[in-house]
Structure formats: C-alpha cells, structure tokens
Amino acid sequence: MKVNQQTADAREPDAPRTPRGEARRSALLEAAHDVFLEQGYEGASIEEIVRRVGGSKASLYAYFGSKQGLFWEVVGDATEQFLTELALPTQADAELEKTLNTIGLRFLRGFLDPAGCRMFRTLIAESQRFPELAQRFFERGPQRVRQALGNYLRLQQDAGRLDCADPEMAASQFLELVKGPPHARVMLSMEPFLPNFDPAQHVAGAVRLFLYGCARRP
C-alpha cells in the first residue's frame, strides 16, 4: 500500500473548524504522536489513538483522512517545531563563528532529542513502503534547513566573510560535520557522546574545521 499527497491530504468536507474542533484536532495529534512513538507506525492503531482522546474514529478521519495522513501531520508538526527552534538567521552579522556555534548547538540539540530520534527511526522504517511521505519529509525538513542556512552563508559571502563556490552545498557540509558520529550513535540507541565529553566542544571543532579547514597557513 502506498501513500501519495492526495491521500495524505484527504479530508472530509465537514471537518470542524471551531475552536473546540481545533482543540480536539490538537489532542488527536498529541495522542497520535505518543502512540506512534510507543508502538511504531505498523503497531499503532486508530482505535488506540481515539481511545486516549475520546470520541469516534469519524472525527479523526474528518481531520486527517487516513492513518497515513495522520502520521504525516505528526511528522510535519515535529518538523515545523524543529525549524522554529533552530531559528536560522536571515541577515549577515559580524560574528560569523559565534553564530555558527549557536546554530550548531541548536541543530545538535534538536536532532539528538530522544522523541525526535524515535520518530525519525519510525519514518526511516516506513520510507520504503511510503516513499512519497519520505520525500515530502525531506523537502519540508532537511532541504529547508539546508536552503535557509545556505542563504545565510550566501549573505556572509556577499559581505566578504566567506569564500565558497556553492553556499547551499557548504551548508550541507557544515551540518554533516555537526551531526557526525553523535547522530550515528544515537540512531543505534547509544549515547551520542562518551562520558564527560562536552557537546559544545564537538560543535566548536566542527565550526573551526568548516571555517578554517586543515590547511597549513603561513
């Protein structure tokens, strides 16, 4: 079974838009988030989600169209929250290294969040069955982060503080430096860092490597 955008976005025409209806929609999303994290996509049931909130399955289908649509909304909400908390700058500033350290720490904190990691694992597990959903997640999350950071780096390049052939590619390289081994470890349910290791030290090293490289300078 495959999900496409039309299926994921399907809604009944009479889905409530009142404050009470929107409060119920939020409650369903919160319950679905917990159930998907606890039981995975395959194990999660619409009945269990509705049981935690009360009411009938009809209202859930009216809001989200299907289980796939509900899962997409849960992932989408988490992605938007991550982007909001990342708060990427939209203007160049004189403290490039300091700003990149701030961005790196926010990015690190976001992708190492335990709930976010569990949801990401669930999404990866379902990506072969629902490739369209995985593609939409990539476009809505990682691609937007790369583009927004690339725009910031382009502004810094215009200001004469950077020299990179492709700011968006440079943004990808910076984010990969920050992710590094911690992301691989946490995806394997290991602690992201060894004991007594300071995450800020990891980010600072990634920033220095990104800005200055390993070249020997006179």
128 and 34 share one domain: no
The answer for residues whose C-beta is within 8 angstroms of residue 171's C-beta and 6 or more apart is: 145, 146, 147, 149, 150, 152, 153
pLDDT for position 23? 87
pLDDT for position 116? 86
Structure tokens at 153: 């780096």
Residue 167's domain is classified under what CATH number? Answer: 1.10.357.10
95 and 59 share one domain: no
Task: Give the structural domain span for 157.
Answer: 87-212
Residue 186, number of CB atoms within 10 A of its CB = 21
C-alpha to C-alpha distance for 46 and 60, rounded to whole angstroms: 8
Report yes or no on 204 lying in a domain.
yes
Percent of the chain beyond pLDDT 90? 56
pLDDT in tens, the chain (218 residues): 344 444 444 444 445 567 877 888 999 999 999 999 899 888 999 999 999 998 889 989 999 999 989 999 999 999 999 999 999 999 999 999 999 999 999 999 998 888 888 888 888 888 888 898 889 899 999 999 999 999 999 999 999 999 999 999 999 999 999 998 999 899 888 999 988 889 999 999 999 999 998 877 66
Kindly report the three-state secondary structure assignment for every residue of 142-194.
HHHHHHHHHHHHHHHHHCCCCCCCCHHHHHHHHHHHHHHHHHHHHHCCCCCCC
134 and 41 share one domain: no
142 and 49 share one domain: no
22 and 120 share one domain: no
Closest Cα to residue 154, out of 87, 84, 91, 107?
91
Q: Is residue 85 within 8 Å of residue 102, measured between CB atoms?
A: no
Tens-place pLDDT, residues 140-153: 999 999 999 999 99
Report yes or no on 217 lying in a domain.
no
Structure tokens at 162: 């950077």
Residue 97's Cβ-side half-sphere holds a number of Cα atoms within 13 Å equal to 9
C-alpha to C-alpha distance for 209 and 175, rounded to whole angstroms: 12
Report yes or no on 180 lying in a domain.
yes
Domain count, the chain: 2
51 and 117 share one domain: no
pLDDT for position 217? 64
